[in-house]
Copies of this chain bind each other. A is one copy, B any other.
Amino acid sequence: MSNDLVVFGVGGLPEIVAKDPLANMIVDAVQSSGRELLAGDVLVVTQKVVSKAEGRVVKIDPDDVDAKRLLAESESVRVLRRRGDLVITETKHGFICANSGVDLSNVEQGYAVLLPIDPDRSARGIRDAIERRLDVRVGVIVSDTFGRVWRRGVTDIALGTAGIAAVVDLRGERDALGRELVATEICVADEITAAADLVMGKADGVPVAVVRGVNPAWLRESSVKEEIVRRSQEDLFR
């Protein structure tokens, strides 16, 4: 049997602004709560604080009803669908999501938060800074909240990863009855991110969670862009 997985939230961070040393502030918050980061822990950090630390915040006219949509379109390479205020876009990263991930919640009135330019790089930066400070090798996932095509309700997914596999390929393994498993590529990064959201909430100031006890075989260099983003030529629904 596998070991227990433990997930806990990290709160108590101050409001994040551009150029804040986010990784150090996360470590401080973990330690202030009486915890330690251990080798093999995976930290899930919400996009919102990552984008704020990276200065990915722009002014937006709160009286212009079209401002958010226009900003979303400017952050996209393609608009797939429109319905009222909502646009479903393909972002410059290749993510397909509502409003290019442009978000007005949990940010000061009159401002909008954009996605990080390169979320894999953001994750690596946090991972490297934690390792420099603590000499502990962790995984880091930068998360965001996306809707799904055919299922109601949003879930948190991985925008960027470092030190934790995005997709694990079980092809070639055998099932419990000895038959070879065909084409079972599990998106463990999205599953870890979903687990983290269960201790975060959307409103309560817990922008980081630690997932402890993931399969050590999954701790490797990785990339959401390379492993998860589906290329349009293998896409049946664009």
A144 to chain B, nearest CB (A): 12
Name A152's contact: one of B104, B107, B228 (CB within 8 Å).
Answer: B228
A55 to chain B, nearest CB (A): 18
Copy count, this protein chain: 2
A227 within 8 A of B: yes
A80 to B199, CA, bound (A): 36
Specify which chain B residues have a CB less than 8 angstroms from the CB of A202 in the assembled complex: 170, 173, 175, 181, 184, 186
A74 within 8 A of B: no
A168-197 with Cβ < 8 A to chain B: 168, 170, 173-177, 179, 181-182, 184-188, 190-192, 194-195, 197
A133 within 8 A of B: no
From known contacts A173-B202, A202-B186, infer whether A236 and B153 are also in contact, taking CB-CB under 8 Å: no
Do the beta carbons of A2 and B149 come within 8 Å of each other?
no
Q: Which of A19-27, A116-124, A134-142, A203-211 contacts B (4 or more CB under 8 A)?
A: A203-211
Do the beta carbons of A228 and B154 come within 8 Å of each other?
no
Do the beta carbons of B230 and A155 come within 8 Å of each other?
no
Specify which chain B residues have a CB less than 8 angstroms from the CB of A107 in the assembled complex: 177
A193 to chain B, nearest CB (A): 8
Do the beta carbons of B195 and A181 come within 8 Å of each other?
no
Q: How large is the interface on A (under 10, 10 to 19, 20 to 34, 35 or more residues)?
A: 35 or more
Bitwise interface map of A from 84 to 96 toward B, beta carbon under 8 Å scored 1, else 0: 0000100000011
Do the beta carbons of A4 and B5 come within 8 Å of each other?
no
A102 to B204, CA, bound (A): 41
A31 within 8 A of B: no
A64 within 8 A of B: no
Measured CB to CB, the nearest residue on chain B to A109 is: B179
Measured CB to CB, the nearest residue on chain B to A200 is: B2
Q: Show the binding face of A for B, using Cβ within 8 Å.
A: 1-12, 15, 33, 81, 83, 88, 95-96, 104-109, 145, 148-157, 166-168, 170, 173-177, 179, 181-182, 184-188, 190-192, 194-195, 197-206, 211, 214-215, 227-230, 235-238
In the complex, given contacts A6-B7, A152-B230, what are 7 additional A-B residue pairs having Cβ atoms less than 8 angstroms apart? Answer: A1-B8, A1-B206, A108-B177, A145-B184, A151-B230, A186-B197, A191-B197
